[in-house]
Amino acid sequence: MIITKVMMMRNNLVFDSFDDALKEYAKENKVPIILDEGLSFLINIIKVSKTKKILEIGSAIGYSAIEIVKNTDSYVDTIERNLDMYNEAKKNIALANLNDKINIYNVDALESFDLFKHKKYDLIFIDAAKAQYKKFFQEFEILLNDNGIIICDNMNFHNLVNGNLDDMSRSLRGLVRKLSEFEAWLLENDKYLSSIYDIGDGMSISIKKE
């Protein structure tokens, strides 16, 4: 018997033709943008926490940053190391008329702390190289305001985390292991109240304790 799981849309986010074009571009070019379910979760967290200033690590084509500011009352600084992605994101942010709400930086997040050291954020969204999550977390957590929040995307990494390691290539295995290690480290880190949810591709939320 074949059991198919029907993935139903269980949110009522509204996408206009511009958003649809970004999603279509991402699909065609295999750019791993945030899933609708994850996006709606992120938007809700931003709204209930009254978050204003956000740092995103990993812009890709600017999709998540654009959707965040379109749907909430917030500002996003976003970091992208890949020049082609950066250019695409820059173009999309301008097309969306969001140059006043999104600042994008074409730098490697792990080599550019000085650019951000005088800033403060209510929320940091980590969505870049999956093997480096702990490094991103440790490098940027100091920029969080009191009661600040750190959210990480792709904690299930396409359902491979907790999957059978024998079936994976060496590099994939290494990456999945790193994500599992990060998850354990996060849950043991008593400076934050952390939970990991099977939302979208798996998302963690860590709220800084007083």
Which of the residues 65 through 84 are near ligand SAH (CB under 6 A)?
Answer: 79-82
Which of Mg ion, ligand SAH, none binds 45 (CB below 5-8 Å, type-dependent)?
none
Q: How far is the CB of 128 from Mg ion (least distance, A)?
A: 9
Q: Is the separation of the CB atoms in 105 and 115 below 8 Å?
A: yes
Pairing of strands 192-197, 203-208: antiparallel
Q: How far is the CB of 2 from Mg ion (least distance, A)?
A: 29
Which of ligand SAH, Mg ion, none binds 128 (CB below 5-8 Å, type-dependent)?
ligand SAH
Which of Mg ion, ligand SAH, none binds 154 (CB below 5-8 Å, type-dependent)?
Mg ion
* Contacting residue, 23, 98, 129, 145, with ligand SAH by CB under 6 A: 129
Q: How far is CA 119 from CA 52, 53, 54, 114, 139, in A?
A: 13, 10, 10, 10, 13
Site string for ligand SAH, 43-62 (x = CB under 6 A): ---------------xxx--
If you search the block for the tokens 């490098």, which residue do you land on? Answer: 139
* Contacting residue, 46, 96, 126, 128, with ligand SAH by CB under 6 A: 128
Which of Mg ion, ligand SAH, none binds 60 (CB below 5-8 Å, type-dependent)?
ligand SAH
Q: DSSP states of the chain as a string?
A: ----------S-----HHHHHHHHHHHHTT--PPPHHHHHHHHHHHHHTT--EEEEE--TTSHHHHHHHHHSS-EEEEE---HHHHHHHHHHHHHTT-TTTEEEE-S-GGG-HHHHTT--EEEEEE-S-GGGHHHHHHHHGGGEEEEEEEEES-TTTTTTTTS-GGGS-HHHHHHHHHHHHHHHHHHH-TTEEEEEE-STT-EEEEEE--
How many residues form the binding site for ligand SAH (CB under 6 A)? 19
Q: Nearer Cβ to ligand SAH, position 15 or 187? A: 15
Instruction: Check binding of 37 to Mg ion (CB under 5 A).
Output: no
Q: How far is the CB of 107 from ligand SAH (least distance, A)?
A: 7
Which of the residues 138 through 197 are near ligand SAH (CB under 6 A)?
Answer: none
Which of the residues 102 through 141 are near Mg ion (CB under 5 A)?
Answer: 127
Q: How far is the CB of 38 from ligand SAH (least distance, A)?
A: 8
Binding site for ligand SAH (CB under 6 A): 32-34, 58-60, 63-64, 79-82, 85, 108-110, 127-129
